[in-house]
Amino acid sequence: MYIAILRGINVSGRNLIKMEALRHAFESLGFKQISTYIQSGNVIFHSDITDETTLENIIRNMILQDFGYDIPCIVVHADQLEQIIDQNPLTAQIDKDVAFFHVTLLAEKPKSNDMTSLREKKQLDEEIFLVDRALYLYCPYGYGKTKLTNNLIESKLKVSATTRNWRTLHELLKIASQTVL
């Protein structure tokens, strides 16, 4: 099972796509067992195509063609998502409230490792860790108030990125794990 994580769908009244229409569009690509989770562009699906970059390009082109939006898309296999969840260095810190955990998924390993300038942007009590293709964020004042935005991360690391909260990632993995092939 794969999870497509779309950036910027149904946010602040922009790039509106109904989840039913998105599911139908995924079906038109030949994908199977399609589920969506919340309205922000999370799609769980099965594909015989095993190259994630190919899947990202197919999905991005479909969204552009069918809906008219050029939307960044990151695809991860369910096993990778489980690994991302398991590798979160924040979970070892028992004083941290998981409600403030976020993970920024990167389309690939960063071309630039400008973590110093990212750390300079974090606010007091915020934390940021890079592990492979995931940036783990602790934003105790809420994600809406952090300066560690997708745009900043993309500009410093030179890679496409999209962020989800901890609960959403767990729900996506749960849905993918419950789907029988």
Structure-derived torsion over alpha carbons of residues 156, 116, 98, 93, reported in degrees to the nearest 10: 150
pLDDT tens profile 19-28: 899 999 999 9
Q: Residue range 116-130: average pLDDT?
A: 92
Q: Residue range 91-95: average pLDDT?
A: 87
By CB atoms closer than 10 A (0-12, 13-18, 19+), residue 136 is buried
Which pLDDT band, with edges at 50, 70 and 90, does 95 fall under?
confident
Q: Residue range 67-90: average pLDDT?
A: 93
Q: What's the pLDDT at 128?
A: 94
Are the beta carbons of 88 and 132 closer than 8 angstroms? no
Which pLDDT band, with edges at 50, 70 and 90, does 180 fall under?
low
Rounded to whole angstroms, how far apart are CA atoms 61 and 39? 20
DSSP β-ladder status, 32-36 and 42-46: antiparallel
For each of the domains in the chain, give its residue range(s) and CATH number, in order of start.
Answer: 2-77 (3.30.70.1280), 81-177 (3.30.70)
Are the beta carbons of 73 and 5 closer than 8 angstroms? yes
Q: What's the pLDDT at 55?
A: 96
Q: What's the pLDDT at 164?
A: 94
State the angle between helix axes of 19-28 and 52-67 in degrees (0 to 180), rounded to the nearest 10: 120
Average pLDDT, rounded, for the chain:
90
Residue 12 has pLDDT above 70, yes or no: no
Which residues in 22-45 are b (16+ Cβ under 10 Å) and which e? bbebbeebebeebbbbeebbbbbb
Residue 165 has pLDDT above 90, yes or no: yes
Share of the chain above pLDDT 90, in %: 69
